[in-house]
């Protein structure tokens, strides 16, 4: 079983919906939590049907901002416990595993409301004794190294969030992928990166899912990167990414050499074997170039 969490910054644009569809097709999450949808219930209903999800729950937008959505498939019973503009609290039941609790979080973006956010976590922690996991955009940092660029985060803010997490008996689930999940002014002198999105869980949750892993998905149409919570990495293996040849590689002189060395390495090999070997080598060689191209595009 798995969950996708994303601050999508609006689902009104077809580009965001297309990215969501591609991500769902690739990672196949059973549950999706979205924040800042900026969308009404009719729009969410259409997206839920398009993605093939049986159930959905919506917290309406507040004026011109906010909006939370929970989507789920038939697998595992989902029961909504409570909700507001900052969270959707729900329980999941699955045979042979039992019952546990999720809270999809969207923390207050205003710095002046941090104490409210920390007390909200403490209040949520007292509502149930089930194994518990929180995931989403907390709009908070725990360590100074979780921010790069701009003014350093005030120590009292780091300490306040950390103390709230400890008071709730929670621990950070860690991550695989990029360190930072949010950014602004990319490619400029004002570029700031922060780890605002994360997963937290109590010890009972960790005992129930000892092999869980949070993967940060690198490509996004939002200024936030999505999180993919995989409850059992041994079972839910990620699909192999399909190889794609980038036409821009042809302009690089090394491209010819990579292909030539693969093709002549074992001249007796079948043509399909040579093509496969060539694809692997090109992906290894060209991966860095693709990242460099993205950075140049962002700079332009």
Return the structure tokens found at 214: 């949070």
**Residue 299, CA distances (Å) to 133, 248, 294, 295, 296 in order:** 37, 18, 9, 6, 5
List the chain pLDDT tens, one digit each, 300 residues: 899 999 999 998 888 999 999 999 999 999 999 999 999 999 999 999 999 999 999 999 887 789 999 999 976 589 999 999 999 999 999 877 889 999 999 999 999 999 999 999 999 999 999 999 999 999 999 999 999 999 999 999 999 999 999 999 999 999 999 899 999 998 899 999 999 999 999 999 999 999 999 999 987 788 999 999 999 764 434 445 667 788 888 888 888 888 888 888 876 777 877 888 888 888 877 777 776 777 788 788
For residue 77, tell me if it sits in a domain. yes
Same domain, 215 and 270: no
Tally of domains in the chain = 2
pTM score: 0.77
Strand-strand pairing, 77-84 and 55-59:
unpaired
Residue 140, domain CATH: 3.60.10.10
Same domain, 188 and 258: no
Same domain, 260 and 161: no
Res 234: pLDDT? 44
Which residues form the domain of 265? 247-299
In angstroms, the CA 183 to CA 149 distance is 10
As a dihedral over the C-alpha atoms of residue 116, residue 198, residue 196, residue 12, rounded to 10 degrees, the angle is -100
């Amino acid at each position: 079983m798995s969950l996708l969490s994303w601050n999508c910054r609006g689902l009104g644009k077809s580009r965001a919906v297309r990215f969501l569809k591609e991500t769902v097709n690739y990672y196949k999450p059973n549950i999706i939590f979205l924040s800042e949808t900026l969308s009404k219930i009719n729009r969410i209903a259409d997206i839920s049907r398009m993605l093939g999800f049986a159930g959905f729950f919506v917290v309406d937008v507040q004026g011109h901002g906010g909006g939370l959505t929970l989507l789920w498939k038939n697998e595992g019973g989902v029961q909504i416990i409570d909700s507001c503009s900052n969270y959707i609290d729900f329980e999941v039941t699955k045979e042979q595993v039992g019952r546990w609790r999720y809270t999809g979080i969207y923390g207050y973006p205003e710095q002046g409301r941090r104490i409210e956010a920390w007390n909200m976590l403490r209040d949520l922690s007292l509502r149930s004794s089930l194994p518990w996991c929180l995931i989403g955009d907390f709009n908070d940092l725990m360590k100074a190294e979780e921010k790069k660029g701009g003014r350093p985060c005030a120590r009292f803010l780091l300490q306040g969030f950390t103390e709230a997490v400890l008071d709730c008996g929670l621990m950070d689930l860690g991550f695989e992928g990029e360190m930072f999940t949010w950014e602004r002014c990319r490619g400029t002198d004002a570029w700031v990166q922060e780890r605002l999105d994360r997963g937290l869980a109590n010890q009972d949750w960790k005992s129930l899912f000892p092999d869980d892993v949070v993967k940060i998905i690198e490509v996004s149409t939002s200024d936030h990167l999505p999180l993919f919570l995989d409850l059992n990495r041994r079972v839910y293996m990620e699909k192999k990414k399909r190889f794609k040849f980038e036409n821009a590689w042809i302009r690089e002189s090394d491209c010819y050499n990579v292909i030539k060395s693969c093709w002549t390495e074992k001249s007796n090999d079948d043509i399909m074997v040579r093509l496969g070997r060539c694809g692997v080598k090109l992906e290894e060689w060209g991966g860095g170039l693709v990242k460099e191209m993205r950075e140049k595009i962002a700079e332009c």
